[in-house]
């Protein structure tokens, strides 16, 4: 499986606290059947002030240790970017780390940005920013919409987002029920409606939020069948991340 959303880089956000945490998460991911991971630490201005430099530094430290220990995992890095007006400036400065690329039906290829909404709400101006990103050849992939409280309270708000030509990533643990009954129901509904683009781990820690891709895949198989579940955890992530990995 290919995981396009995880927080395994050491010490730069609310994921792995240090290199030992990183290694524990990687070993858990390998045991879970994950072969490729795009490390996506938060970029959240004022809280996690990461940038390409800080992310690449933590990434290179981890990659060196993985090589020393001969761990069977392939890594790349990007970021989970919290929605904010500054995204437009970062895009113009070419400072947005993308998780890959997406080819639209028209044949146009866009860079894929893992875009995080606040858990509490959908901010005013979200639709306008998404339209701006499209105009600037960036495809937003909305991270874990099933956990957004506005969407939990009113599912029609998700439908408004779905009309904006976004991609959507649902969290493996949501399908496993770890975030509660309603997020699980919404994640299942996104699968049934064909609105989920990929499933990703969003792994943060071994105790609180470990990788659960294998369990989520089994849950998805019961809803959409084995072939579609395989697409959600491998085939589509492979297409998106093909510029980052050479995946057999």
The radius of gyration computed from the CA coordinates of the chain, to the nearest angstrom, equals 17
Spans of all domains in the chain: 2-240
pLDDT of residue 246: 58
Q: At what angle are helices 181-193 and 213-224 packed, to 10 degrees?
A: 50
pLDDT of residue 170: 98
**Which segments of the chain have a pLDDT < 50?**
248
CA distance 143 to 156: 17
pLDDT of residue 148: 97
Q: What is the mean pLDDT of the chain?
A: 96
Q: Can you identify the CATH homologous superfamily of domain 2-240?
A: Metal-dependent hydrolases (3.20.20.140)
Strands 36-39 and 2-6, sheet pairing: parallel
pLDDT of residue 30: 98
**DSSP single-letter state for residue 45:** T
Are 115 and 140 contacting, i.e. CB atoms less than 8 angstroms apart? yes
pLDDT of residue 107: 85
Q: What is the pLDDT of residues 91-106, one digit of tens each?
A: 999 999 999 999 988 8
């Amino acid at each position: 499986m290919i995981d396009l959303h995880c927080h395994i880089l050491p010490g730069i956000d609310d994921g792995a606290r240090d290199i030992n945490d990183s290694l524990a998460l990687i070993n858990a991911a390998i045991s879970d059947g994950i072969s490729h991971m795009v490390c996506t630490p938060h970029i959240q201005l004022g809280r996690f002030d990461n940038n390409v430099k800080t992310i690449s530094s933590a990434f290179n430290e981890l990659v060196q240790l993985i090589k020393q220990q001969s761990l069977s995992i392939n890594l790349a890095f990007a970021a989970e970017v919290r929605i904010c007006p500054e995204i437009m400036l970062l895009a113009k400065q070419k400072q947005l780390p993308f998780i890959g690329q997406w080819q639209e039906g028209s044949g146009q290829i866009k860079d894929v940005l893992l875009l995080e909404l606040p858990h509490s709400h959908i901010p005013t101006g979200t639709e306008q920013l998404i339209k701006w990103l499209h105009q600037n050849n960036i495809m937003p992939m909305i991270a874990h919409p099933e956990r957004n409280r506005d969407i939990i309270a009113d599912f029609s708000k998700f439908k408004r987002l779905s009309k904006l030509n976004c991609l959507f990533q649902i969290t493996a643990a949501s399908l496993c029920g770890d975030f509660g009954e309603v997020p699980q129901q919404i994640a299942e509904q996104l699968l049934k409606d064909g609105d989920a683009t990929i499933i990703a781990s969003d792994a943060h820690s071994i105790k609180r939020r470990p990788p659960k891709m294998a369990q989520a895949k089994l849950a998805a198989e019961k809803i959409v069948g084995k072939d579609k579940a395989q697409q959600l955890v491998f085939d589509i992530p492979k297409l998106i991340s093909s510029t980052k990995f050479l995946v057999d």
